[in-house]
Structure 1
C-alpha cells in the first residue's frame, strides 16, 4: 500500500500512470474492507477517457460499457490497464482490466460508436424525472454501511418501496484527487448504487450482490446528478436482476442491468 494519507475529498488518489489508491470513501456496503463497485466503475471510465484523450478526436462515443466483477475488490491499490480489442473509424471496442495484488478483479469492455447528427429522428426516450432540488434527501446510510454510501446525496422521487425506487444520486467528492473527471465517468461512478436503492429484502437477512453491470446509452449523459428508475426482481433459484432506466437532468439516457446472486446471510438459515 502507498503510505500517503488518503485525500479527504476523493474516492481515489493517483499513485502513477496506471495505479490508484482508494480512500475510505470508496468503502463497500457489503464489506467495508472492500471497495464499493460504483466508484471503481467510474474510475474505469475515467481511465478510458484519459486513454481516448491521448488520441486524435475521432468522434467516437462510449455507447455501451459492461463490467464483469471477477473477484474480491479489496480496499487496496489497484492497477487499470486499457487495450484496443477491435479498432475502427466508426466502431471500436476497448477493454480495461483492473488488477489488485496482481490479480484481475474487474474486466470491462466498452463499445464506441461514431457520433452523427440524428436529431431529426431522435425520440422515444420517455419523460423527465422531477428535478432533484424539489425532492427531500434520504439518509441511505441508515440502511447501508460503508464510506461510499455515506458520501452520497440521495433524493427519492417517492418513498422507497421493496424492489422499486426512483431516485437521484449525487456526490460532492472528486473521483480522483486533483483530477477533473469528465461527465461520463462522473455519471457512471454512481450507477452501481441502483442495487442498493430498491432493496427487496433487508440486507441484514439476505445478500444480493451483483456480479456485473452493463450500461447501454442512447445519448451522452450530463454530469451532476444520476437518475435511477430501478426495479429489483428475485427469482426462485438464487438469481436476481436489478434493472434501471438511467436519467440525467434532461431525461432518460439509457439503461443498466445487474445480475445478482441471492442468498441468505450466514446464520439466518
Structure 2
C-alpha cells in the first residue's frame, strides 16, 4: 500500500470532517493501520505473552478510530503526533480492564520506586544496583528477577499522567517533544516540567540514558536498540526498566512541584 501524499490526506480529512464521508474515513483508517502496527511492535515486548500481536492491534485500532473522531484538523498539528499516545492508551486501557497485574507485583513496584527515591535523597546521586539490592534485601539474582516481574506498561513507560489543578491530563512523554501545540498559558508549565525531566534524564547512568534517548527520542524498538548497543533485548529491557524506576523515584519527590 502506497502512503498518502499530504495533499490527498488533507482532502480526505476535509471530506471526513466536513461531510462525514465514510469512504474518506475508511481510506484514512487504512492509511494509518501501519502506524498502529508500529506502536504495537514497540510495546509488545512489555506485554504478557497471553496477548497476541493481533489482540493489541485490535485494541490499537479502537484508539485510532477514537483519535480520528476527536482530532481537530484546524489546530494544524500532524495526526500521527496526536494519535500515537491515544493508540497506546487504548491498548493499555484494554489490558488493564482484564486486571492481569497481581497486587503482589503492584506492591513490589511501589517498593522499588520508594527504594530509588529514598536512596537518591540519602546519597545525593543515583544509587548503584548493589545499593538498591541492599536496600531491598535482595541478591543480584533476586533483583534482576524483580526487574522482570515489574516490567509492565504502567510501570515502565514515560506515559505517566500528571493532573494539574485545572484538571487537564498531561502525558509525560509529550513533554519530550515540542510543546508548540499547547495553549500559550500552559507553555511555562510545560517548560518547567520539561526542564525537570531533562535534568533528571541527564543524571541517569550512561547506558540507561542512551536507552531512554533511543527509545523515546529516536523511536527505536528495544530490539533495534539492542542491535545498536550490541546487547540482548532482555538486557535492554532491564536497562529501560531501571531507568524508568530511577526517574519515577526522583520525580515522585518532585510531583508537588509538577502539578502545582
* TM-score normalised per structure 1: 0.22
Asked which structure has the greater CA Rg, the reply is: 2
Q: Whose RCO is larger (CA < 8 A, sep 6+)?
A: 1
Q: Which has the higher helix share?
A: 2
* TM-score normalised per structure 2: 0.23
Q: Which has the higher strand share?
A: 1
